[in-house]
Chains A and B, each alone.
Chain A
Amino acid sequence: MAIFIDKKTKLVVQGITGRDGAFHAEQMKKYGTDVVAGVTPGKGSSKVAGIPVYNSVEEAVAATGANTSVIYVPPTFAADAIYEAIDAGIKLVVCITEGVPVNDMLKTVEYVKAKGARLIGPNCPGLISPELAKVGILPSTIVKKGSVGVVSRSGTLTYEAIWALTLADMGQTTCIGIGGDPIIGTNFIDCLAAFEADPNTKSIVMIGEIGGSDEETAATFIKEHVTKPVVAFIAGQTAPADKRMGHAGAIVSGGAGTAKGKIDALNAVGIPVAGSPTEIPELLKERIKRFSTRSTRPTAKTVVTRIATPARPAKAAAPKRKPAGKHK
């Protein structure tokens, strides 16, 4: 078992004739993912790495029964590609594209929710369930099958953490990068709920970074709903305020979204935060040991199925952000 993708995944690659699309379609196929189709408008009936190409997602789904899509189209066309996949009945869409306008995502995310589908990304490396399937761009050489679930907002930092786990002989069920943008389809909570529900996942690593309040929300969620050992890492402790640190989402503004605030929130609910990515395996081992020797395990109020459907948080949980005012 794994989360979101496994042997039942039948993948369609949107933008398969592009440079990135073609390269990664082949990589995913080589890894053993069931890549059933590619889509590029106007290039139907050609082939890429032996994968049949269709003019639309609708055609591809009708011909192959694809149930998952991965998007490698340029940012200008990314929102449209997501709509197309959703309208063709795809229930899991992974958008790798970086640089998608926030306004486009605001509408798209609303639409995806209304249709009861799941979007991962944009601006993410995708996900990999070792020995089962890979959707996205994560290097398959660094993963190993096992029982750790990894969820992260970043790309190469995730690789660093996964590599450290693999070197410590701690394999993974699924490694997922949810993306570094302000508006993304799947957040930490969605992934934590899925890992909690997955019987093969025995422990969880969560990698966050500055900006937004997703890590703080996740801390509360873990306290209430996650019974498995969790350790975290937060990047951006040295980042100055009001500067965008590469990821559109990684910006500390108006005192909100600092690394310290996130680390404090996690520590407050008993989640250890590693000082370096290389310390994650040791910390997780200790944590697992403590959980297995503990007489009373925390009782989770299991509402996992409710959380798994993307629901809008209640208004009471409204943003703590202050108006970004005062500039006279």
Chain B
Amino acid sequence: MKVHEYQAKQVFAKAGIPIPPGDVATTPHEAVEIARKMNRPVMIKAQVHVGGRGKAGGVQYAENAEAAQVLATKIIGMDIKGLKVKKVLVTAAEEILSESYVGIIVDRAQQRPVIMVSAAGGVDIEEVAAKTPQKIHKLWVDPILGLRAYQARNLAAKLYRDPGQMRQAADIIMKLYDVFWKADATLAEINPLVTTPGGKVIALDAKLNIDDNSLYRQPEIAAMRDLDAEVPEEVKAREADLSYVKLDGNIGCVVNGAGLAMATMDLVKRYGGEPANFLDIGGSSNPQKVVSALEIILSDPNVKAILFNIFGGITRLDDVANGIVAAFAQLKPSVPVVIRLTGTNEKEATKILAGMKLPTARTLDEAVKTAIEMAKAEA
């Protein structure tokens, strides 16, 4: 789960990481009030779950409250890569002497958290990593021991020469690792970590992604979920305990298992079609899930044909068939559907579906080709 910058900053501040003062606003009026109270130049920063907001014009400098009004009006409601900006962070504009990078992720290959630091922080960090990887310093942390103070000091020494700033940075790195671990983060990042003319080291930006599997024990972070910032169908799917990702094509896919769902999408593309979604109904045989799945797919106006591909292992096909019957009775889909069910209790399922006279397919490839033809005929 992604949280917004202002939320990540709340978490960081609570852990003792210094951040510039600021507050979040949902209207230009609120933004002006915040800027007026701060009585100094501010940055207006769009809060959206997508990268590249600065280059899209979603981060602007406002000299005073009047400028803040103009800019907040412009940014709130702005469209950044398909997402509408609904909130802005109004935060003190700091004078900056240097920009560093500190980030922590789970390194899958090494099976350890890795802390990455660079004295060349800022918007071009990805380019730095690609072109001059020697400028990125990495430390793999033993998850059982945790981060030692000396390790944080050594990393800080890669960023600063001044002993005072080195100490501040080491302290921030320790605290960031603490946040990373305690919040069950998959990413905790400060880019840039800056020095001010007064010699202070502060986190100008904050990014925090949380492991979805851990949300049950992170109630404070789970409560930060911003449903407004997500695709409505995906929110609905999550509530129905389905895994769904909306795509741009016209063939709706209902599949059990993530790997098979991806392979089904790939085949749609391979045979000349475009998948409308990724949808995994999971391993359970709950017929209600099939109803929810069909409902979500039908809510996408682009869908011209629907493909069911269920490989019954643990999932019992008769349960899925009952779900299909219930879903059709309830939703009466007007787009054509092709069904491919293979595996556990296939015969029972065939009997249940016999009365509906729906097109069926024996193999995955056949099902995909049929769905593509159906979509073409509809379009």
Contact = CB atoms under 8 A, between A and B. Distances in A.
Interface string A70-86: 00000110000000000
A154 B260 contact: yes
B258 A326 contact: no
Nearest to A328: B54
What bracket does the count of chain B residues touching chain A fall in?
A: 35 or more
Interface string B227-271: 000000000000000010101000000011111111101111110
B143 A103 contact: yes
Nearest to B270: A275
B222 interface: no
Interface of B: 51-55, 59, 101, 103, 105-114, 116, 118, 121-126, 129-130, 136, 138, 140, 142-144, 181, 184, 186-187, 189, 191, 205, 207, 211-214, 216-217, 243, 245, 247, 255-263, 265-270, 275, 278, 280, 283, 311-315, 342-344, 363-365
A141 B317 CA distance: 14
A42 interface: no
Nearest to A259: B266
A115 B360 CA distance: 51
Contacts of A89: none
Given A156-B315, A245-B243, 13 more contacts: A102-B106, A110-B111, A110-B142, A142-B313, A159-B260, A159-B311, A160-B260, A246-B280, A248-B212, A276-B267, A318-B110, A323-B101, A323-B189
Contacts of A328: 53-55, 59, 122-123, 191, 205
B106 A106 contact: yes
Nearest to A239: B262
Interface in A148-191: 152-160, 163, 180, 182-183
A214 B111 CA distance: 12
Contact of B258 (A100, A247, A254, A327): A247
A102 B105 CA distance: 11
B110 A327 contact: no
Given A238-B269, A278-B364, A317-B109, A139 B262 contact: no
A158 B257 CA distance: 10
Main secondary structure of the interface of B (DSSP, over half): mixed
Interface stretch (A7-15, A46-54, A205-213): A205-213
B221 to A, nearest CB: 13
Given A182-B106, A250-B262, A312-B110, A99 B313 contact: no
B136 A155 contact: no
Contact of B111 (A109, A137, A275): A109
Interface stretch (A59-67, A194-202, A229-237, A297-305): A229-237
A21 interface: no
A245 B343 contact: no
B129 A322 contact: yes
B184 A139 contact: no
B106 to A, nearest CB: 6
B257 A154 contact: yes
A318 B247 contact: no
A240 interface: yes
B207 to A, nearest CB: 6
16 contacts: A106-B111, A106-B112, A107-B144, A153-B259, A157-B262, A159-B313, A163-B342, A163-B343, A236-B262, A236-B266, A239-B278, A240-B247, A276-B365, A313-B110, A324-B105, A327-B51
B260 A156 contact: yes
Interface in A227-279: 233, 235-240, 243-250, 254, 259, 275-278
Main secondary structure of the interface of A (DSSP, over half): loop
A156 B315 CA distance: 10
A212 B108 CA distance: 6
B212 A244 contact: yes
A183 B107 CA distance: 9
B184 A103 contact: yes
A156 B111 contact: no
Contact of A323 (B103, B269, B313): B103
Interface of A: 75-76, 98-103, 106-107, 109-111, 125, 137-139, 141-142, 152-160, 163, 180, 182-183, 207, 209-210, 212-214, 217, 233, 235-240, 243-250, 254, 259, 275-278, 312-313, 315, 317-319, 321-328
A182 B267 CA distance: 25
A313 B129 CA distance: 22
Given A102-B186, A213-B108, A238-B265, A323 B259 contact: no
A317 B342 CA distance: 42
B311 A156 contact: yes
A298 B313 CA distance: 38
Contact of B263 (A102, A157, A243): A157
Contact of A107 (B108, B136, B143, B259): B143
A248 to B, nearest CB: 6
Given A246-B278, A321-B105, A276 B265 contact: no
B262 A235 contact: yes
Given A102-B211, A141-B344, A246-B258, A325 B126 contact: yes
Given A106-B106, A327-B51, A101 B184 contact: yes
A98 B282 CA distance: 11
A99 B211 CA distance: 10
B259 A158 contact: yes
Contact of A156 (B130, B212, B256, B363): B256
Nearest to B274: A238
Given A139-B313, A155-B313, A245 B213 contact: no
